[in-house]
Structure 1
Amino acid sequence: MTSHPVAVADPDRAKILLQALSSVSSRIATVAGQDQSKPHLPRLVAVSKLKPASDIQILYEYAGHRHFGENYVQELVDKAGHLPRDIQWHFIGSLQSNKCATLASIPNLFAVETVDAVKKARKLNEARNEDWQKLNVFIQVNTSGEESKSGAAPGEDTVDVARYIMNECPRLNLLGLMTIGSIARSNAAAGGEQNEDFTTLLETKHLVESELGIKELELSMGMSQDFEDAIRQGSTNVRVGSVIFGARPPRTTTA
């Protein structure tokens, strides 16, 4: 895979993006600063799905941002092939078994955040080049129980996937747990309540750590509408798209 220069968009677009990224970063720092127990700021993954590579190049070149998230495999492959090789990509879309090998072949893929089954972990591990750094993975947990959402069930199902990754996948690194919570729970939390999805993910993290004798798993939770609430409840990795890049166009290509 070779990297080719991507032209930066017009100055007006650059100004908009840089201001938006700066605003989100400031909000993260403000919220995280309220908890003195957090030694580091949560990681900001700028979700660039369906946005042009030139938008990413702006934030890379002028803001020094490195962590970007994509939902569609082919879009991630295309962008990774044209953008700088030190970008740290996160795959955050629904993970299909037949796409695992393609994802694992991206050298600068930092993390796959949507592993929800042993089979998918096995396929990622088998396809990852053993000479490369371990591929970070998050286990996606279906904290809301919605049939429309992917994810391992909280509790022993998640523990089983975690145990398999740790014991049987030497080319993977279990970085943490991830959830895409329900909109209703996010809206309720905006009114001052604790977000039940975030509470469930935190409890599942504690269970996995206890069962497997590990500690300091990360939590990937929180998106554009609720990342501040997620940080207050322990998130170490937030996935923010529209607040940075603006509304997305309709999708017209396949993953």
Structure 2
Amino acid sequence: MASPVAVSDPARVEALTLALSSVASRIAAIAQSTPPRLVAVSKLKPASDIQALYASAGHRHFGENYVQELVDKAAQLPDDIQWHFIGSLQSNKCATLASIPNLFAVETVDAVKKARKLNDARIEQWEKLNVFIQVNTSGEESKSGVAPGKETVEVARYIVNDCPRLKLLGLMTIGSIARSHAAAEGEQNEDFTALLDTKQLVESELGVDSLELSMGMSQDFEDAIKQGSTNVRVGSVIFGARPPRKSAQII
């Protein structure tokens, strides 16, 4: 049973609900058929913000970047929230993540070792844990992720063949800000194109289909949808600017 969470100020509830509705409308205006999944990225925001959107807007998919913050919030909030872990994945945190019953997906798997640890820690009787492979499409050293192409196929093959408690849901990328800006000028985002190409390669090599694409954030989710994203991760446009991590008050 989740612990009670303080109710947000009515003005805050209204602001959050309107912001979420605005993003949903923008998504619907672009989506060709089924709108992509909207993950509201609630990192460094209080649990009361999540409770507000859960109750007032019926939203269920929320994303967190820090393991302990996700653990704390999951313990306080309704157990039908579907959590996404979207932060850098450390091997020593895999077991902790896998022990969260309503963890919908880990979007940042970037190594066979981490997939194995998630699989081994997941309780067999629970539903399979969805995972995305994080692909470093921009080649930036500052970003995590496997290289597009052969490396991605190898991790995908391991998940499909050797991780019975995991489900390969798709591929994920963060991409570069510069390419997001270029896309805003009407060009194709090269990072999104690379992820789509890698998806098609993985599907061909493994004989699977319908893998998802998690790409697009607050600055570029509309362009990502145009290029095939099925899962967008939107934070600041919904919740507003975040405080520095060290000063954030996590409820």
Mark yes or no: TM-score above 0.5.
yes
Distance 1:231 1:113 in 2: 17
Check if 1:137 corresponds to 2:136: no
Matches of 1:237 and 1:71, distance apart in 2: 16
Q: Report the Cα offset of residue 41 of structure 1.
A: 1.1
Partner of 1:41: 35
| Residue type of the alignment partner of 1:166 | V
| Number of the residue aligned with 2:20 | 21
Instruction: Give CA deviations for 1:64-113 in whole Å, capped at 9, x if unaligned.
Output: 00000000000000000000000000000000000000000000000000
> Which runs of no fewer than 5 residues in structure 1 stay unpaired?
none
Q: 2: distance between equivalents of 1:185 and 1:88?
A: 30
Which region of structure 1 is more displaced relative to structure 2, 197-206 or 5-14? 5-14
Q: Does 1:177 align with 2:171?
A: yes
Q: Which residue of 2 aligns with 1:8?
A: 7
* Runs of 4+ more than 6 Å apart: none
Hey, what's the Cα distance between the residues in 2 that align with 1:8 and 1:57? 8
Aligned equivalent of 1:95? 89
Say if 2:60 is the partner of 1:66.
yes
Match of 1:116 in 2: 110
2:189 matched residue in structure 1? 195
Calculate the TM-score normalised by the size of structure 1: 0.96
Identity %: 81
CA displacement 1:211-246 (0-9 Å, x = unmatched): 000110000000000000000000000000000000
Could you report, residue by residue, the CA deviation over 1:10-34 in whole angstroms, capped at 9, with x for unpaired residues?
01101100000000000000010xx
Give the secondary structure class of the aligned counterpart of 1:85.
coil
C-alpha RMSD of matched pairs (Å):
1.0
**Counterpart Cα distance in 2 of 1:219 and 1:204:** 10
State yes or no: 1:162 paired with 2:161: no
Amino acid paired to 1:163: R
In 1, the alpha carbon distance for the partners of 2:48 and 2:201 equals 42
| Number of residue pairs matched by the alignment | 248
Q: Which amino acid aligns with 1:196?
A: E
TM-score, normalised to structure 2, is 0.98
How big is each residue's C-alpha offset from its partner over 1:160-214, in whole Å with a ceiling of 9 and x where there is no partner?
Answer: 0000000000000000000001000000000000000000000000000000001
CA distance in 2, matches of 1:87, 1:8: 17
SS at match of 2:187: coil
Corresponding residue number in structure 1 for 2:204: 210
Q: What letter corresponds to residue 16 of structure 1 in structure 2?
A: A
In the alignment, is residue 50 of structure 1 matched against residue 49 of structure 2?
no
